[in-house]
Chain A
């Protein structure tokens, strides 16, 4: 009972740490998903819609990146951003930006691969149809983006889901610093290790609520886009 009371107090109270954790989590997830989508969707369309020398190799590379363990992505970014690393002068390590970079490394291949597979199924008939009405080259990109706008939202949503649930990479490059880089997943892990199950469960519930809310919004947007 005490545990439930504690969870309710956290959920409906105004715990400053909890608020900051939610804010950092959303900030990180939105930016990393946005950047990954900006890179991954055009890249996926180009990969899926075109036949070119080296396509199989690039597809294989992207698919290999799908299996990149988050801690390895974290390690790569950590080495790049550490003081002795090539980007050390930027002083980004243990910041939200570093967490976003690590997540972009993880999510972009996922969005690229999903987009490429989706577009590739109908690419040849779309290309033929567009060629038949004089639309060739880069002008085709616009129609691929318009035609697949609804499934693209689902892909972006899946990317967001990956981002918000990721823990290994953000722990490594963010450092789980209180009021600065602590996000829900790293906080849940830490609070569980410390035996503060009420805080961990409250965070878990909030994580699920945010996912549900974002799913609902995206579903609504998808419906509007499909009806457009």
Chain B
């Protein structure tokens, strides 16, 4: 279980994230939704430790190899695609086999010799996911993992995440612009607006019967 306590992130005096309390339980999938600038990415960065909050603490999260994080635009290094994945597997004897297997799962099996920096945005996201999932993980933090992919890529990634969850029963926290994706993937939805948690709940409750006006207004833009 991960618990955020009194998290406050400020930049140039402006509050970017203000989360007095938030709990993520193991064995659950959390979808964080909200408009641009609502604090979704900031929340993941704080969890990942790449952004230090102005105040507050996070309990229950050890940032080790069991935690994987995929930024919204993962960087693809200028060496081969296979090396982009095997770089995470330095201690393994059969790292190339493991890397190829991970790349095949994300549909990049035919591009293993291509240069990482020559891939498209969607391919880079899939490469990033292969890199993160090449080593078994207990916690996955994914920042809009399908924002650059086409429909096929999105289906592939969603199926892969479902499979990962069924196999590990780990903790999945992902952000998305699309409530429909949160509905498909999440056990619980967290709706953020202007850096604050407005409403949380299961997809059924949140989408069918949102309590807060802000949630209703956000969801009214989408037909789910």
Please list the residues of chain A having a beta carbon within 8 angstroms of any beta carbon in chain B. Answer: 122, 125-129, 131-135, 143, 146-150, 226, 228
Stretch of B19-27, B71-79, B150-158, B159-167 contacting A (4+ beta carbons < 8 Å): B71-79
In the bound complex, how far is the Cα of B82 from the Cα of A228, in angstroms? 12
- Where the two chains meet, the residues of B that have a C-beta atom closer than 8 Å to any C-beta of A are 45, 48-50, 63-65, 67-71, 73-75, 77-79, 87-88, 115, 128, 131-132, 135, 141
Docked-complex contact B71 and A128, CB < 8 angstroms: yes
B75 near A122 with CB under 8 A, answer yes
Given A133-B68, A133-B88, A134-B88, A125 contacting B132 (CB threshold 8 A): no
Q: Lowest 7 A-B CB distances belong to which pairs?
A: A132-B69, A129-B75, A128-B71, A134-B65, A133-B88, A147-B77, A125-B75
Instruction: Tell me whether B77 and A125 are in contact (CB under 8 A).
Output: no
What's the A-B contact tally at a CB cutoff of 8 Å?
Answer: 59
Q: Among the listed A122, A128, A146, which residue makes an inter-chain contact with B79, where contact means beta carbons less than 8 Å apart?
A: A146
Q: Are A125 and B73 in contact (CB under 8 A)?
A: yes
CA distance A57 to B128 in the complex (A): 35
Cα–Cα distance between A131 and B67 once the two chains are bound (Å): 10
A131 touches B77 (CB 8 A): no
Q: What is the distance, in angstroms, from B175's C-beta to the closest C-beta of chain A? A: 14
In the bound complex, what is the Cα–Cα distance between A143 and B90 (angstroms)? Answer: 13
Question: Closest residue of chain B to A225, judged by CB?
Answer: B78
Interface of A: prevailing SS: helix
Of A127, A129, A228, most B-chain CB atoms within 10 Å: A129
Given contacts A132-B48, A146-B79, A125 and B88 within 8 Å (CB-CB): no
Cβ-defined contact, A131 with B50, below 8 A: yes
Closest to B67 in A: A134
Cβ contact within 8 Å between A132 and B77 = no
Which of A129, A134, A149 is within 8 Å of B71, CB to CB?
A: A129
Chain A residues whose CB sits within 8 angstroms of the CB of B64 once the complex forms: 134
- Nearest-neighbour CB distance to chain B for A147, whole angstroms, equals 5
* Chain A neighbourhood of B77, CB < 8 A: 143, 146-147
Q: How many Å lie between the Cα of A133 and that of B134 in the bound state?
A: 10
- B75 proximity list for chain A (CB < 8 A): 122, 125-126, 128-129
Cα-based distance from A128 to B75 in the complex (angstroms): 8
Q: In chain B, what residue has the closest Cβ to A139?
A: B90
Please give the distance in Å from A21's CB to the nearest CB on chain B: 39
Q: Please name all residues of chain A whose beta carbon is closer than 8 Å to the beta carbon of B63 when the two chains form the complex.
A: 134
Considering the chains assembled together, what is the distance between the CA atoms of A78 and B4 in angstroms? 60
